[in-house]
Chains A and B, each alone.
Chain A
Amino acid sequence: MSKEVAKEKSMIIQKEMIANLSLELSNVKKTGKKVVYTFVPGNISELIRAFDMLPVYPEINALQSAMRKKSEKFIRDAEKMGHSEDVCTYVKCDVGMMINGNVGSSGDVVPPPDLLLLSYTGCFTFMKWFETLKRSYPDVPVAMLHTPYQAGAEITPEMTEYMVKQLKDEVIPKMEKVSGNKYDEKKLKEILKNTSKTEELIMKIFDTTQNVPSPIDAYFAGVYYIGPINNGFRGTQEAVDYYEMLYKEILERVEKGLGPITPEGVMEEEKFRLVLEGPPNWTHFREFWKLFYDLGAVIVASSYTKVGGVYDNGFRVDPEKPLESLANYCMNCYTNLNLPQRVELLSNCITKYKADGFMVNSIKSCNSFSAGQLMIMRQLEEKLEIPVGFIESDLVDPRYFSYSNIKNRLESFFQMLEQRKLYSD
């Protein structure tokens, strides 16, 4: 692990983009820009940017803390304050980070919010999280944007109307007040044109895993690919440029018949193709990834990369209907889909991307994903007669990452896949 980590060019550019955003955030006192805390699912950063404000994502702060090995202390500090061991570790990590000075990944203090945009999409805990934050920032207004769940496996006109009304009557007036700027629909439409291009590119990028070997890992590298669109760059020209470059880079790999780039270089042999359900573990991200690539496993599709938006079924924002588009985008995030929809989506991924197996990484503290995963597994196993595997870890709590346990399970699973391949050959 001491070798220099292999990185794609796009990864370096992405790092720069995020560093620049951090820099911009650290300068808000000078620039006077207002800061909006919000969440990745239902991440309407286009609207935030239309008001010239800057977004901050507490879940991203939490995962970055985990990658920097700081989350355990933060979580323990939050637990000392009375937060239960049983609940979401993103929340506890965020609370812990706040009480330890709110220092972000760049080493700078994350500025406090001027507005808490509670995009309540696909995760109940988001609501509780911002209720907690509201107590820490009592003077900061909260704009609640309730995203109806796709319980009936569809977005009805009434659901869209409900969200648009909230945007018009609750979110936009609060943004106008905080930013001091009037809502400019023309500006939002222009921003959304970039979003539409980006969404199209993202889908093309993730579709390249139809190639054998797959040129990318759609989970471990995929989380980097979705970084810009999930971390404040929706609707920006930088995002369009980034995704165009990334797509080009991947197509070059396809042409050369290359596999994905891992931290230890290009993966030489693709043995197993998997679809993976559930978020990754962030505290041991590299070790976790290594467990897969060492055994020749590549992830050809993952549900986690759809958490900030699902584009598989053709959804793209329509710049001519800006608020309706934002509403429908929010409702179309992965964890806002009902269980039968999730089964169908994953099933299509398994077929489309020619997966050999389906794997669940069940996260202890993320019920939005975890509750129902065993049912999803059963369904896919029955429907597609595909081998399914199951491992457990946590988002940002290192106490729940058991390397040997995961390794044992993966090895057994891959042995099973190997036997199956031999048998079918």
Chain B
Amino acid sequence: MEALKDILAKCEEISFDLDFTRAREWKSQDEKRVIVGSMPIYFPREIIHAANGMTVGILGGGDRKMIIKGDAYYQSYICHIPRSIMELALDGHFDDFDGFIFPSICDVIRNLSGTFQILGKGKFVKYLDFPQNFVPSIGGEFYEQELQHVLNEVYKINQVEVTPEKLNKSIKLFNKNRELLRQIYDIRQEFPWRLTAADVYHIVRAGYMIPVEEHNEILENVVHHILQDINDPLDNIRVVVMGAFCEQPPIGLIKTIELAGCYIVEDDFLLGARWIQQDIKEIKSGSTLLSTLSYAFLNNSTFSSSLYDAEDPKERRLLELIKSRKVDGIIFAAPSFCDPALLDHPILQKACEDNNVRYISFLFSENTGQFKVIKEQIGTFSDSIKLWE
């Protein structure tokens, strides 16, 4: 079995490969293979997998891509991620991609899908309108139509028909992927010193760059390693980090949080990988092709700022998460100008105050490079909890 440090080094390299080397290599092996780029938060990658495709995460350029052209498309008061995605697109990083999915996150990402349409990127651009109605015969049916639309577009490219058998196989693989990720988070909850939060981030992000089969193998190895009693605990508090579900935090920020005395045992970075909280059921005969994916979305989704919270308020779910993860506090870290995250803050922070949960909040951009002030702020937060709680 590969050593943990080698696995981690590999994941670090893969996760920020802005040339998408492995995905391109994978595609080149079979002319019927397709690559579909998808932005956060969630997209059911199973359907692309079943159509002989691979979904690659379009997660922005982070602090690895100098923005020159991208700034010419967005005003200063719009978040950073669309600029770096534009920069990547204009520099040809997505040239081998066959299609693009823009899930409904906010108005900026919605309009970014239109910019891709105008630029003529890929063979299709799909703004995936997630239903905000959760009744199976209404929102569920609409969701199935949205997914079918994606499948139709892929079919036009490779003429691969998705059958229940193929989709069940894909569902199984992604169920396994989610289960392994759950295990990693569960082990880290008890023993957060066994793997740093930055390592976890690289591991999860690598899953957006390589075939799921390869990622599952990596995850199995990681689980094996972190079940062992490795590394020594530090006197850190345990925190949840919330708000970075779309524009991703720079790795420096994740490291800063841990260096300042906090173990991140729960977060919403790359939330889509763990969006569905239970195994998706296999399709039974007589049901529609996309019925179980739709059921899972309607019933087993996690909570998010981009989803109408209907009858199950997000503050209740956040408090439940705090309890189950046994954390000492919350760090609200949202990207500047991120409407969904920032509009939720007053609601979530009030719930924290009403329930005596300690929190701090600050803003970041994917290319933030200075962490001194943030480190001092988090350090004070962590010390205050250690000393006085």
Given the interface pairs A128-B343, A151-B127, the reply to whether A372 lies near B112 with Cβ below 8 Å is yes
Nearest chain B residue, comparing its CB with the CB of A379: B118
CB of A375 closer than 8 Å to a CB of B: yes
Most chain B CB within a 10 A radius of its CB, from A88, A338, A367:
A367
State A131–B73 Cα separation when bound (angstroms): 31
Binary interface profile of A, 161-188, with partner B (CB < 8 Å = 1, else 0)?
A: 0100110011000000000000000000
B111 to chain A: which residues have CB within 8 Å? 339, 367-368, 371-372
Give the contact stretch, choosing among B132-140, B226-234, B280-288.
B132-140
A101 contacts across to B, CB distance below 8 A: none
Contact in complex: B75, A148 (CB < 8 Å): no
Output the least CB separation between A49 and chain B (Å). Answer: 24
Interface members, chain B 19-77 (any A CB < 8 Å): 72-75, 77
Q: Is B309 interfacial (CB 8 A cutoff)?
A: yes
Please name all residues of chain A whose beta carbon is closer than 8 Å to the beta carbon of B131 when the two chains form the complex.
146, 162
Tell me which of B78, B112, B137, B338 contacts A370 (CB under 8 A): B78
A392-B75 contact given A131-B309, A132-B346, CB 8 Å threshold: yes
Q: Decide yes or no whether B113 CB sits under 8 A from chain A.
A: yes
Chain A binder among B101-109, B184-192, B210-218, B252-260: B101-109
Task: Convert B94-127 into 0s and 1s, putting 1 for each residue whose CB lies closer than 8 angstroms to a CB of A.
Answer: 0000000000101110111111011000000011
Q: Shortest CB–CB separation between residue A20 and chain B, in angstroms?
A: 34
User: In A116-140, which residues have CB < 8 Å from any B CB?
Assistant: 118, 120, 123-125, 127-129, 131-132, 135
Q: Which residue on chain A has the smallest CB distance to residue B309? A: A131
The reply to whether B142 and A170 form a contact with Cβ atoms under 8 Å apart is: no
B107 near A338: Cβ-Cβ < 8 Å: no
> Is the CB of B220 closer than 8 A to any CB of chain A?
no
Complex interface bits, B300-337 against A, C-beta within 8 A gives 1, otherwise 0: 00000110111000000000000000000000001011
Q: Is the CB of B340 within 8 A of A124?
A: yes
Chain A residues with CB under 8 Å of B106's CB are: 124, 367
> Which parts of B126-183 form the interface with A (CB within 8 Å)?
126-127, 129, 131-133, 135, 137-139, 141-142, 145
Q: Judging by beta carbons under 8 Å apart, are A162 and B132 in contact?
A: no
Q: Which residue on B lies nearest to A343, using beta carbons?
A: B118
Task: Give the residues in chain A near B77, CB-CB below 8 Å.
Answer: 86, 364-365, 370
Does B375 make an interface contact (CB < 8 A)?
A: no
Given known pairs A124-B107, A364-B77, A370-B77, the reply for A82 and B346 (CB within 8 Å) is: yes
**Across-interface contacts of B343 in A (CB, < 8 A):** 83-84, 87-88, 91, 125, 128-129, 131-132
Q: Residues of B contacting A87 with CB < 8 Å?
A: 339, 342-343
A375 to B75 alpha-carbon distance, docked (Å): 11
B349 at interface, CB cutoff 8 A: yes
Q: Are B129 and A128 in contact (CB under 8 A)?
A: no
Residue-wise, chain B 344-387 has the 8 Å CB interface mask toward A (1 for contact) of 11110110000000000001000000000000000000000000
In the assembly, what is the distance between CA of A170 and CA of B135, in Å?
Answer: 10
Question: Given A81-B346, A372-B111 in contact, is the A340-B117 Cβ separation under 8 Å?
Answer: yes
Which chain A residues lie closer than 8 Å to B261 at the CB level?
A: none
- B118–A162 contact, CB under 8 A? no
Decide: A170 near B133, CB < 8 A? Known: A86-B77, A339-B118, A371-B82: yes
In the complex, A338 Cα to B74 Cα: how many Å? 17
Do A372 and B346 touch (CB < 8 A)?
A: no
Within 8 A of A (CB), among B79-96: 82
**A343 and B115 alpha carbons, distance in the complex (Å):** 11
B132-A338 in contact (CB<8A): no
Most buried by B among A87, A335, A362, A379: A87
Would A124 and B339 be within 8 Å (CB), given that A135-B347, A144-B310, A370-B75 are in contact?
yes
Which residue among B72, B129, B137 has the maximum number of chain A CB atoms within 10 Å of its CB?
B129
Q: How far is B331's CA from A180's CA once the two chains are assembled, in angstroms? A: 46
Q: Note all chain B residues with C-beta closer than 8 A to A342.
A: 114
| A374 in contact with B73 given A124-B340, A128-B344 (CB within 8 Å) | yes
A149 at the interface (CB under 8 A from B): yes
CA distance A339 to B179 in the complex (A): 39
Q: Is A158 an interface residue (CB 8 A)?
A: yes
User: Min CB distance, B70 to chain A, in Å?
Assistant: 11
Q: Give the distance to chain A from B305, nearest Cβ to Cβ, in Å.
A: 7
Which of B73, B142, B347 is within 8 Å of A148, CB to CB?
Answer: B142
Q: How far is the CA of A161 from the CA of B371 in the complex (A)?
A: 50
Please provide the 7 A-B residue pairs with the shortest distance between their CB atoms, ordered closest to farther. A339-B114, A151-B127, A372-B111, A128-B343, A84-B342, A146-B132, A367-B107
17 further interface pairs, Cβ-Cβ under 8 Å (given A127-B132, A131-B309): A86-B77, A86-B337, A86-B338, A86-B339, A120-B308, A125-B339, A146-B139, A148-B129, A158-B142, A158-B145, A162-B142, A165-B138, A340-B114, A365-B77, A371-B111, A372-B111, A375-B118
Chosen A-B contacts, 18 in total, with CB atoms closer than 8 Å, are A82-B350, A83-B342, A86-B342, A86-B363, A124-B107, A128-B305, A135-B347, A146-B308, A148-B142, A151-B127, A162-B133, A339-B111, A340-B114, A370-B77, A371-B111, A375-B114, A375-B115, A375-B118
- List A residues at the B interface (Cβ < 8 Å): 81-84, 86-88, 91, 118, 120, 123-125, 127-129, 131-132, 135, 144, 146, 148-149, 151, 158, 162, 165-166, 169-170, 335, 338-340, 342-343, 362, 364-365, 367-368, 370-375, 379, 392
